[in-house]
Amino acid sequence: MSFEPTTEPASATPALPGQKGRRALKTAGSFVWFVVTIALTFLGLLAITFFIGRVIPIDPVLAVVGDRATPAVYEAARIEMGLDRPLPVQFLDYVTDVLTGDFGMSVSTGRPVISDLARVFPATLEMATIGILMGIAIGVPMGVVAAARQGSWVDQTIRVFGLLGYSVPAFWLGLVGLAVFYARLRWASGPGRLDIFYDGLVPPVTGLMLVDTLIAGDYDIFWNALDHLILPASVLGFFSLAYIARMTRSFMLDQLSQEFVTTARVKGVPERVVIWRHAFYPIRIQLITVIGLSYAALLEGSVMVETVFSWPGIGNYLTTALLNADMNAVLGATLVIGAVFIFINKISDVLYRVLDPRAR
């Protein structure tokens, strides 16, 4: 009797007993660390704004009671505002108030600062969003074309255009835009968010005028709001596209010098495919960080543009508060801008990790 060897089918490698548990624990740890970093960053922002409120040469008590108040009234207001307490206690009270949404009362408007910020921030958000979309739509192709035609007159022109974006002051560009496109050519509407006879006709839902007019179905006001928005958003978009185009060109030049791009060209791959698929595709992850930083910069750096165009956003609100020594409004606006900057940076970091497995 002969025996033939039998072969058993190879079984799949069994999962390690604690592999799923360790993976879940690692994910939970990453999430906890993400939350902790946000909390620590926000706490640092609170400390900075609190310190600014104490070292700035403006007396918040005088801003409330006036410079003709008697010493007794001044002292009573100081005690009521908690400024007689030790600084650590004041900071703890400040953190508690902010976490509960209490930013104090605005001396300028007589309303809670949180209500004012909820009213003015959507205007800045709307203008900055349109500006960054312009910057992406124009700046990214400009950077790609400049890199693809390095050293040509096209590249030199785009580089000079980008240099102007770094050199020209925002208030000067805004004034020139108003003088040329509004006063001279009548291509754009003037300062403000709407014509005065449209003001108050659209019920606020989101605070974004373009969205609220579409919700209300009032297309005449929608086009009027868009007409008012285009010029200031274009000024912001000019500065963002200069930065985005410059960084896109730098990233593309690095990719175009890689061996895999040279190999693709040797194999006869069309130049358009080489540029947009082989060279541009890898830099999209780097562009996320660039666009996120540019967007945050537009949100926090729109003070001069809003002042020139009388745009009722957080930058204009912050300027008015500074001129009126309204410290509650100043600190509240500064805190909101800083929180938005932190949020956008964290979102950019998350997107970076999602799109690039190597960063996980």
Model pLDDT for residues 20-44, shown as the tens digit of each residue: 667 777 767 777 777 788 788 888 8
Domains of the chain: 41-99 (no CATH), 120-313 (1.10.3720.10)
State which residues of the chain have pLDDT below 70.
1-21, 27, 55-58, 63, 301, 356-360
Name the DSSP class of 180.
I
Place of tokens 């005028």: 209
What radius of gyration, in Å, describes the C-alpha atoms of the chain? 27
Q: Residue 279: how many CA atoms within 13 Å on its side-chain side?
A: 30
For residues 128 and 227, is the Cβ–Cβ distance under 8 A? no
Which residues, in sequence order, are bridge partners of residue 112?
105
For residues 314 and 121, is the Cβ–Cβ distance under 8 A? yes
44-66 per-position pLDDT tens digit: 888 887 887 776 666 777 767 77
pLDDT of residue 256: 87
What is the Cα–Cα distance from 301 to 298, expressed in whole angstroms? Answer: 5
Read off φ and ψ for residue 112, nearest 5 degrees: -60, 140
Which residue pairs, CB below 8 angstroms and at least 24 apart, start in 154-163?
155/249, 158/245, 158/249, 159/246, 159/249, 161/242, 161/245, 162/242, 162/243, 162/245, 162/246, 163/242
pLDDT of residue 8: 46
pTM: 0.80
The distance from CA 98 to its chain's CA centroid, rounded to whole angstroms, is 21
pLDDT of residue 11: 46
Tokens for 294, please give them.
């540019």
